[in-house]
Structure 1
Amino acid sequence: MNQFERTDTAEKRLAALGISLPQAAPSPIGSFCNVRESRGLIYVSGQGPIEADGHLHCGKVGSDVTAEQARAHATLTAINILAALRGHLGSLDRVGGVIKLLGLVNATPDFARHPFVIDGASELMAAVFGNCGIHARSAFGVGSLPNQITVEIEAIFEVKGAE
């Protein structure tokens, strides 16, 4: 059991990690919403590695961006997912669990470390939600992403106590 699993709520774990979420998730760049809730599940639209100041991390993983840099971008993307989630629910403590992540990596054709990159997001979810943060996942490379961002991740969560 790590130190964060001993802390009893997602919000307390997030604080123990020293992570401050942005006040709001980045606005969608198309005709869709960041979050949609249906039948006890919350779907968070694909988020990217956008800093609180608006800086976008762009580039092709495997050529101008290293796998380690992209992994850090995946962690940042997970922070933006959590901001969207908190904005919708009011508190991360209302999350019953992380169901699935889908991670896309803007990569060169020969890049093969997609799971390593998206682990940056997966590990943050586990740290914030404990055992309920362990999830199903897909991770793969794509030829491009909007605005040439390095990673895009979407997520599905369950709401605590929903039927």
Structure 2
Amino acid sequence: MSNDTESEASSAPAPQGRYVAAVLAGGTVRTAGMTPRRNGTLTVTGRVGTDLTVAEARTAAALALRNALSAVRSVLPSGSSFRPVEMVVYVAAADGFTALSAVADGASDVIAEELGPENLPARSAIGVYTLPGGAPVEISLTATVR
């Protein structure tokens, strides 16, 4: 359950536009919105509630969160650790879909498993009509450096 950069070195996902994956400012790291990409390619697209089930969207949220953790780790000073303090989960939702928290729990589960449940951040789950590239979820993470 360590979040030490030396034991879990990662590289940030490549940006899909003119931005950086993460910024370290003072003692805070903020990530760009991360989608469920693997090697630069979305693993799934569509809107939750019509094209994807909650279970499929939870899996997508878990991958997006892993990308966000990689982005955080990529800008940490050597030997530093971090604590997530805020997570915003955007869900491309079908009309009337309200199980946004259930989708976001896929991301929270990864934090609990990798960093421990005591490191869960404050979280917002927001339903939107569409996300970049047709992604079903997008996650931004803010963390403090220890």
Structure 1: which 4+ aligned runs deviate by more than 3 Å?
none
Of residues 24, 46, 55, the one that matches 1:68 is 55
Q: Is the 8 A contact 1:57 1:149 kept in 2?
A: yes
2:126 maps to 1:150: no
Q: Which of 91, 107, 121 is equivalent to 2:93?
A: 107
Tell me if the contact between 1:24 and 1:83 (Cα under 8 Å) persists in the aligned partners: yes
Q: Which has the higher contact order (CA 8 A, sep 6+)?
A: 2
Give structure 1 stretches of 5+ with no counterpart: 1-6, 16-20
Q: TM (normalized to structure 1)?
A: 0.79
Cα offset, 1:54, TM superposition: 2.7
For residue 43 of structure 2, what is the amino acid of its counterpart? L
CA RMSD after TM alignment: 2.3
What is the alpha-carbon distance in structure 1 between the residues aligned to residue 16 and residue 73 of structure 2? 20
Q: Which has the larger radius of gyration?
A: 1
Q: Is the 8 A contact 1:41 1:158 kept in 2?
A: yes
- Aligned positions of 1:5-154 closer than 5 A: 9-10=2-3, 24-52=11-39, 54-89=41-76, 94-154=80-140
Larger deviation, residues 37-46 vs 51-60:
51-60
Higher helix share: 1
Q: How many residues align?
A: 145
TM-score (norm 2): 0.88
